[in-house]
Structure 1
């Protein structure tokens, strides 16, 4: 059958042997993956069978190997279900060692120490590639995350690039995998979705077959057009095609509030870079980052970049969305700094600000909530989100602000005066000593939020005809930040 089709269209070799083709989505994802590898991360490339995961993985491996800026290694183990951390460490030894006879220590402690020294000796970041990673045991995935940290502590950089079915992405979001959540960056490969016609033209052009309207290529295009028309008329392939915008408008609004809009991303990146003494300069087509902060140079290098936070991006202007490595690296760096550096953090977890934005003393809390999503059809998932709440009055009798008011104060409050450091420390210390009095109200917030999420899922799943899920709050919630707003008046010059 294949030979007859090829003869009819005048082809002398198969499409799969005609070269490598990338969609715009794949090109951008390719750049993002390369940038993420420089930071020492678990990178997961997930997609359905046939979408091009293995091809993309090979392409990335070949490009990095050719560039020579990153040392690459590949696990050749066929049975990934039985592959252990020791198996993957062995792959690193075999590919990175320059010795004629490779001896891998049997003792775990010695093996990890020698691998750490081997990577540091190479003086370049290392990327380990693992295909069919959806079969890896969760203990192996956790072990890889810890191995990355061991190498990092020794002054090296190790990233692990995993490719697998959508099961891999789902496994990494399970509640039992919470330990590696902040270390993994997930990319979804969409294959040729939306680019089938361009792929057709690209591949046929390799055979010099782009001819007149009577040519076999024209027949191919006509067939594509017919298929597109049939798809438009079909309501059975995807239930989402029957969804009306107004039916999910509330969910879309809430998603933007939780995940952040383009404006939120822009404000965050600009503020973060300014804190790190690397301001963005406004240009006609975007923002110029002339001197990237030190924490970003392992991801994007030290060269200047022209960025934009809105789409579509102009040519040679890099779009920065909320999943961009720049945003991820800045967020991680600032959070780790706030958690670890208690003397002079870049972003403080607590503080007292004298401001004219309030008329009475107001306290804002930055909370981290966890929700367990239980489904009879799928594995349980652990979801996280941050929430800003605020109150006036003492903690024993708080008067809670509306959610929008609390967020607005956090964003817009500007200092108009100051207090001595010792006074601010006493004020914050006294508040922290009474934070337990807020626990009943905070637990109520968590339960109300889980109920709201459950109702949102119920509305959407009623439209998509999917099964229902249960949303359970995981208590107690974490308090990431405590900020006191003290009323004050702006001084005027007389």
Structure 2
């Protein structure tokens, strides 16, 4: 290799176009990607050396100038800026400098599984709330930062598009464009002529609805990227025309043997054998043969374990207890609150039941084939009455139109709670008005009269329970089935709790409006959110809420789990999450749903550790629900749901119960081998911690942002513990403009428990300070200083170094060359008999407290002496660089062995080392 080629290797410094640059990964001798020496990744350019007017030459980094000395606080600020600005760290996980999440040990398991596969084909079937999005994002970001992929597509249901887009941006620093039926034409219209979608937008979130049509499906297949993530993957494998088309799409995608496929689902096996093995066939067609093999020791089953991971929360809790790997999940404390259909409300409920019975009898006598209509009207009306007076009025005043013998009538999603894989159903009230009789008007008037705490025992029970939760410090989310109920409940909670922020979110709002309404509650000390199931998927609530109340029982147990999973999930800081079911003691509709559906789901979940969705059979469920809804209420003075006899309705559902039990047994058979207990993430957690320390911790982020803002005359305003308000209007104009380009132009509430080093505010501040210091500005971040302190006994000098490494590895028989950087500090105590110091001892020196000032001439003299000393001991810098390269290689090998990675690695130091800062600490004689 010639010297010229060596100069163009990733990590080397070059001079071009009148300035210095760092050669980036993916560079070749005839084509260079260059980042300005003090710039950010956004400033990277590409050039062809042969076309440059002046030749590209090797360069060296200038040492600090004694004349540009600052104080010790400015020196520490430069150290923090350097660490927090690093993206291409030298550790074995290339992605950790680009992610805004601290993964727990168990979330590294899918990543380690991915590293051992030449082509990543994974089915991640972890339980709800464990963090499948984070696990998949880690794999995609790692592949991208290793240079193995450049493009990514996420396929997901429509209601999850915005969540994925937000998660990729906020947690993984990936700007994604959404491709939906509504946005596709606009996105494609904005593409430059002749440029394909994925060349212009390397990361795209695609709605599964968008690719239903043949034209869109074929177009996507023609441009599909190297890596595809499929969320709610079970919706692409079961029966039904739309789902079959999705499955065919995935089949065609995996025909490319080099395409990475990561599938996510919390319900891989819900009793549909064909669907489950369809999913497995996408990993490898051979796995279909496992359908008739039950031995856990079967070689093919062991091969599947390399591609399939499924952990319950119970598995994670046991794992964490064994390894001491961080705090586990919060305790989910479940309780039930009941009310009686007593007084005027009980009379009203009985009147509605009588109305439905008489209507059914009259239509049966008429023999007009209107049976389905009566089924519908009965269920719609009694469900709305059980929900709230407001929903009852809405249902009674909305006329039921349509054909009386329409087979699709009972499939109206306003009546039910969606299938297991469809949790975005309509939250409008179903119509139930069949005739404009005076009796109907009387029922409407009675429902209106009983609205409010005095007449509605269900609302009164809710207010009492919420009062208890609020006093105990909880922030509850109240889930309702219908829009009218949500607004009704929110209105009366505001009256009952005038000092508490109460907000309602329903399907009336766009997904973006829903998110904004939730986010505006962040500054409130006490908050209550009332929502329909439009929030049971798509918006994470764990950062703001700590309790869930099921105001309306769901007719699908999966819905309950999804509601609770919005709050009780990865990222929840509270030790306990309260979950409450509210139901009528003597309400036969609640009783049937509770005893026959929800209790069965809870039993299965307790036995298996995860929820198995209820088998789908609309006709049987509808018939059973109608039978239960028309049952007479218990005449007991103190009724309980246990005293209700659902003999006939239960017999109707017996075949479904048998299918459900069968699904449980099959899920149990699959569980143990795929919990992946043999993979030990604790073996690689030390590497994660090392990279955290090298790149900057949460405490470093808080100290840096507070100190930088104070020096820029824009100190943060304290709101409450760990929460501050950032005011950009006080910053210098150039910095304000840069922040505005990142979408930060208004005051911003900062939560230092969540603010990560990759946040645009942290990145822009670090870049601004670093650029200022390299240009000679000393008031913000200084490259040199001399300080009096009582923390040292002899003259001690701290040298702040930036190390660059060439990281090479081979994967799929293809060599990769990448640049890696890290910031380290080296110190020397004494000058006549110097003692070199590294590690924690040096970090403590940078935290020392100055006790006095030196005149400028004395400062410059001490700094000049320290620079001369380093020039005379320059071999020490080479020793440090080579030691760090060997240590990084050892870290890579350790991770490779833990993951049984298929790659081969090498790490070489780039010399000479960059001397970023020189700080002299002088013992204070006083």
TM-score using structure 1 length: 0.58
Query: What is residue 179 of structure 2 aligned with on the other side?
Result: 55
Equivalent residue for 1:431? Answer: 866
* Correspondence for 1:242 among 678, 694, 713: 678
The structural deviation recorded for 1:245 is: 4.5
Match among 777, 788, 805 for residue 354 of structure 1: 788
- State how far apart, in whole Å, the 2-side matches of 1:339 and 1:457 are: 32
* Comparing 460-469 and 203-212, the one that deviates more: 203-212
Alpha-carbon distance between aligned partners in 1 of 2:263 and 2:767, rounded to the nearest angstrom: 32
Determine the C-alpha separation between the residues in 2 that align with 1:244 and 1:17: 30
What is the match of residue 441 of structure 1? Answer: 876
The one of 812, 815, 818 equivalent to 1:381 is 818
Q: Hey, what's the Cα distance between the residues in 1 that align with 2:898 and 2:156? A: 43
Aligned residues: 343
Partner of 2:894 in structure 1?
Answer: 459
CA distance in 2, matches of 1:268, 1:428: 25
Match of 1:263 in 2: 699
- Give the Cα separation in 2 of the matches to 1:280 and 1:80: 41
Q: Is the 8 A contact 2:418 2:425 kept in 1?
A: no
1:219 matched to 2:615? yes
Q: SS where residue 793 of structure 2 aligns?
A: coil
Larger Rg: 2
Instruction: Name the SS for the 2:771 alignment partner.
Output: helix
The residue that corresponds to 2:910 in the other structure is 474
Q: Note closer, same or farther for the CA distance 1:248–1:199 as it changes in structure 2 (3 Å cut).
A: farther
Q: Secondary structure at the match of 1:303?
A: coil
- Please list the CA deviations of residues 398-457 of structure 1 after superposition, one character each: whole Å capped at 9, or x if unmatched: 3112421111111x2121111111221222223324432221111011111111111111
Q: Superposed, which structure 2 residues align to 1:415-426 within 5 Å? A: 415-426=850-861
Change (3 A) 1:489 1:26: farther
Contact 1:356 1:487 in 2 (8 A): yes
Note the C-alpha offset of 1:45: 4.6
Map 1:317-328 onto structure 2 (within 5 A).
Answer: 319-328=754-763
Q: In 1, distance between residues paired with 2:786 and 2:907?
A: 35
Aligned partner of 1:303 among 742, 746, 754: 746
The RMSD of aligned alpha carbons is 4.4
Give 1:271 shift. 1.5
Q: Match for residue 488 of structure 1?
A: 924
Superposed displacement of residue 320, structure 1: 1.0
1:389–1:400 Cα contact (<8 Å) kept = yes
> Aligned match of 1:274 in 678, 690, 710?
710
Within 2, Cα distance between the matches of 1:227 and 1:274? 61
Query: Secondary structure at 2:911's aligned position in 1?
Result: coil
Following TM superposition, by how much is the alpha carbon of 1:75 offset from its aligned partner in structure 2, in angstroms? 2.7
How far apart, CA to CA, are the structure 2 residues paired with 1:278 and 1:478? 31
Deviation of 1:370 after TM superposition, in Å, equals: 1.1
Residues 303-351 of structure 1, C-alpha deviation per residue, up to 9 Å, x if partnerless?
A: 32221122xxxxxxxx3111111111111111111111x1544100111
- Check conservation: 1:416, 1:489, Cα contact below 8 A: no
Q: Distance in 2 between matches of 1:277 and 1:227?
A: 64
Equivalent residue, structure 1, for 2:830 = 393
Alignment-derived partner of residue 233 in structure 1: 672
SS at match of 2:179: helix
Q: Decide whether the 8 Å contact of 2:825 with 2:843 is kept in 1.
A: yes
Matches within 5 A, 1:20-59: 20-22=159-161, 24=163, 26-30=165-169, 45=175, 55=179
TM-score (norm 2): 0.33
**Contact preservation (8 Å) 1:364, 1:391:** yes
- 1:60-209 correspondence runs (5 A): 73-78=190-195, 129-131=200-202, 165=226, 193=264, 203-206=422-425
Say if 1:204 and 1:290 are closer, same or farther in 2 by CA, change over 3 A: closer
* Alignment CA distance shift 1:456-1:263 (3 Å): same
Question: Residue 31 and residue 338 in structure 1: after superposition, are their counterparts in 2 closer, same or farther (change >3 A)?
Answer: same
465-474 vs 217-226, which deviates more? 217-226
Q: CA shift at 1:265, angstroms?
A: 1.4
How far 1:29 sits from its partner (Å)? 4.0
Tell me if structure 1 keeps the 8 A contact 2:267–2:613: no
* Alpha carbons of structure 1 residues 193 and 24: separation in structure 2 relative to 1, 3 Å: farther
| Pair 447,23 (structure 1): closer, same or farther in 2 beyond 3 Å | same
Match of 1:408 in 2: 844
- The Cα of 1:268 is off from its aligned counterpart by 1.5
Structure 2 Cα separation of the partners of residues 289 and 272 of structure 1? 14
